[in-house]
Amino acid sequence: MDQVTLAVLVRNEPGVLSRVSGLFTRRGYNIHSLAVGPTEDEKVSRITIVVKEEEKRLEQVIKQLHKLVDVLKITDLTNAERVEREMALIKVHGEKRSEILQIVDIFRAKIVDVSPKEVMVEVTGDTDKVDALIYMLDSYGITEIVRTGKIALARSVKN
């Protein structure tokens, strides 16, 4: 299975996310993550999709996406010079708070909420970093996690 990051620019129309996700369901493609939001142009939304598929089928995924009338542009960022980020909020049992704080510090994450029993950690970085922090915090007892899914932009050409 190959993993590909696609930046899909779509028209900001009702139902467009449904069209994209419906296509994946209908053709049996696997979405690993999907993040969507507005862009600099109010008529355009940007969807970052991470797809896990065999190489042969990945070409099909892109071609089928192109057929959607509301899809304007697809960029395969997998092999491009790019910046990738994902954000996660992680709720952890707070008994060993000082140890947790140390780990949070190493990862340049932040504590964004504290209660007598739990702390909430906010982390931003590439997917590996988020995975690594979750792995480190796991032994303290994670109660809830939310992840945004990956977003990515190609780097500007530097002269």
Partner 1 sequence: MPHTGAEILINGLIELKVEYVFGYPGGAVLPIYDALFNSKLKHILTRHEQGAAHAADGYARTTGKVGVVIATSGPGATNLVTGLANAYMDSVPLVAITGQVQAGLIGKDSFQEADVMGITMPVTKHNYLVKNTNDIRRVLEEAFYIASTGRKGPVLIDITKDALMNLATDNSLNIEIDLPGYRVKTEGHPRQIHLARKLIKESQRPLIYAGGGSQDAALVLRQLAERYEIPVTTTLMGLGVMPSKHPLNLSMLGMHGTPWANNAVQNCDLLIAIGARFDDRVTGDVNKFAPKAKIMHIDIDAAEIGKNVPVDLPIVGDAKAILSELLDSDNLTHKAWLEEIYNFQYHDRKTNIPLQEICKNCSYEGRKNAILPCQKESTLSPQKVLEHVGGVLEDELIVVTDVGQNQMWAAQYLNVNKPHSFITSGGLGTMGYGLPAAIGAQIGRRQERVVLVTGDGSLQMNIQEMATLAGYNLPVKIILLNNGVLGMVRQWQTIFYEGRYSQTCIGSIPDFCLLAKAYAIPSLRVATENDLEPMTQALLADGPYLIEVAIDPDESVWPMVAPGASLCEMFYAQRAITPAWKR
Interface residues with partner 1 (CB under 8 A) are 10-11, 14-15, 18-19, 22, 26, 56, 59-60, 63-64, 66-72
Decide if 121 contacts 104 (C-beta within 8 A). Answer: yes
When the beta carbons of 68 and 153 are compared against partner 1, the nearer one is: 68
Token pair 């449904």 is found at 18
Instruction: Tell me which amino acid residue 60 is.
Output: Q
Cβ pair 11, 90 in contact under 8 A = no
The residue among 15 and 116 lying less far from partner 1, judged by its C-beta, is 15
Strand partners, 114: 119
Compare residues 22 and 37 and give the one whose CB is closer to partner 1.
22
Q: How many Å apart are CA 98 and CA 61, to the nearest integer?
A: 47
Nearer to partner 1, 55 or 157 (CB): 55
What does the DSSP 8-state code read for residue 137?
H
Of residues 71 and 137, the one with the C-beta less far from partner 1: 71
What minimum distance in Å lies between the beta carbon of 61 and partner 1? 10
Half-sphere exposure of 69 (CA within 13 A, CB side): 3
Q: How far is the CB of 19 from partner 1 (least distance, A)?
A: 6
Give the three-state DSSP class for 102: helix
Nearest Cα neighbor of 48 from 22, 70, 18, 78 is 78
**Min separation Cβ 71 and partner 1, Å:** 5
As measured in angstroms, the least distance from the Cβ of 140 to partner 1 is 43
Question: Least Å distance between CB 95 and partner 1?
Answer: 46
Tokens at residue 4, please? 């590909």
